Amino acid sequence: MMDIHKRGYAQPDMLVSTQWVEDHLNDADVRFIESDEDTLLYFSGHIPHAVNVDWVADLNDPVRRDYIEKEGFEELMSRLGMTKDTLAIFYGDQNNWWACYAFWVFQLFGHSKAKIMDGGRLKWEKEGRPMSKDQTDFPRSAYTANNRDDGKIRVFREQVLQHVQQKKSLIDVRSPEEFSGERLHMANYPNEGALRGGHIPGAKNVPWSRAIDTDTGEFKPADELQKIYMHYLNIQPQDEIITYCRIGERSSHTWFVLTYLLGFENVRNYDGSWTEYGNLVNVPIER
């Protein structure tokens, strides 16, 4: 595919190429972060000097269904030897779906020095670039985090219901079968607790993976993304958008596309998503 800076993105610098990563493997002020759906994949081999961020163990509160608080994020970042000046480069399996999820959580704490490696782990492997099984340890730092900001890019169920009443745009990024209510979960995955199938009223279905070139694993150029989102959904960059999926992981990928590649100004991710909404009593559901 063409160079990242020639694809027409609103913020092309939010992506780096696999070549850029290989050229900067030894940069002390860069931290390569692998975040995968398969939490054991990192240990089978990873980009040299990359660290592992486990989306369950590292980003989620061990008791409540919520993310870690400020103190937990500070501990994570200090363990990874990072400061606020450290550039975080995220990549992972499943075409960076989980990398975008980790990136999104980092933004809740204001770590804005962050980018995504276009093409993810698959592209890196296909190109035969170096892999390592060595454990990566960095000297511990003393990271001071911002308080977690749940207001700008995150949305909760009460706000979703208000959004529905106001007939504003919702994008359901799950599979068509989940959207229609035929399935309660992704194909070949276990049901993770939703008691009802269907979608939030007024939502339109654009599966998250449509933003990816299936041959390369890279994000599609801006003109193709505009056709997928802006033309089909009839939405504009100034519109208020809520994305959702099952637990907010696939929808964080679409949030990244809309926010950084297409320049949307007000996109929020509903991480409660269908696992929460499909269990709520007395809420409207469409099929």
The mean pLDDT of 213-231, rounded to a whole number, is 95
pLDDT at residue 1, as a whole number: 72
* 107 occurs within a structural domain: yes
pLDDT at residue 184, as a whole number: 79
* 133 occurs within a structural domain: no
218/235 Cα distance (integer angstroms): 23
Let me know whether 222 and 273 are in one domain.
Answer: yes
* 11 occurs within a structural domain: yes
Let me know whether 121 and 198 are in one domain.
Answer: no
Let me know whether 19 and 98 are in one domain.
Answer: yes
Number of Cβ within 10 Å of residue 172's Cβ equals 28
Let me know whether 66 and 10 are in one domain.
Answer: yes
* 139 occurs within a structural domain: no
Q: What percent of the chain has pLDDT over 90?
A: 91
Which string of b and e fits 81-105 if b means at least 16 CB within 10 Å? Answer: bbeeebbbbbbbbbbbbbbbbbbbb
| H helix or E strand, kind and range, residue 172 | strand 169-172
The mean pLDDT of 118-127, rounded to a whole number, is 97
| H helix or E strand, kind and range, residue 95 | helix 93-108
Please give the tally of structural domains in the chain.
Answer: 2
Let me know whether 24 and 103 are in one domain.
Answer: yes
**Residues 6 or more apart whose Cβ sits within 8 Å of residue 10:** 222, 260, 261, 262, 263
56/39 Cα distance (integer angstroms): 9
Examine the residue annotation and report whether 245 is marked as an active-site residue of this protein: yes
- Lookup: tokens for 279: 């269990």
Let me know whether 103 and 13 are in one domain.
Answer: yes
Domain boundary among 126, 149, 176: 126
Q: Under a CB-based contact definition with an 8 Å cutoff, are residues 21 and 89 in contact?
A: yes
pLDDT-derived band at 183, boundaries 50, 70, 90: confident
Let me know whether 89 and 184 are in one domain.
Answer: no
Catalytic option among 155, 245, 247, 262: 245
pLDDT at residue 136, as a whole number: 86
Domain boundary among 106, 126, 146: 126
CA proximity to 55, closest of 251, 247, 238, 255: 247
* 216 occurs within a structural domain: yes
Q: Under a CB-based contact definition with an 8 Å cutoff, are residues 229 and 262 in contact?
A: yes
Let me know whether 269 and 177 are in one domain.
Answer: yes
Range of the domain at 35: 4-126
* 131 occurs within a structural domain: no
The mean pLDDT of 19-40, rounded to a whole number, is 96
Handedness of CA 246, 201, 211, 174 (dihedral sign): positive
Q: Which of 1-5, 178-182, 204-208, 256-260 has the lowest mean pLDDT?
A: 1-5
- Average pLDDT along the chain: 95
* 286 occurs within a structural domain: no
| H helix or E strand, kind and range, residue 66 | none
pTM tops 0.75:
yes
Which string of b and e fits 248-282 if b means at least 16 CB within 10 Å? Answer: bbbbbbbbbbbbbbbebeebbbbbbbbbbbbeeee
Domain boundary among 111, 126, 141: 126
CATH number, residue 255: 3.40.250.10
29/83 Cα distance (integer angstroms): 9
Q: Under a CB-based contact definition with an 8 Å cutoff, are residues 154 and 269 in contact?
A: yes
* 238 occurs within a structural domain: yes
Let me know whether 116 and 206 are in one domain.
Answer: no
Q: Under a CB-based contact definition with an 8 Å cutoff, are residues 138 and 51 in contact?
A: yes
Whether residue 37 is predicted with pLDDT greater than 80 in this model: the reply is: yes
Q: Under a CB-based contact definition with an 8 Å cutoff, are residues 100 and 255 in contact?
A: yes
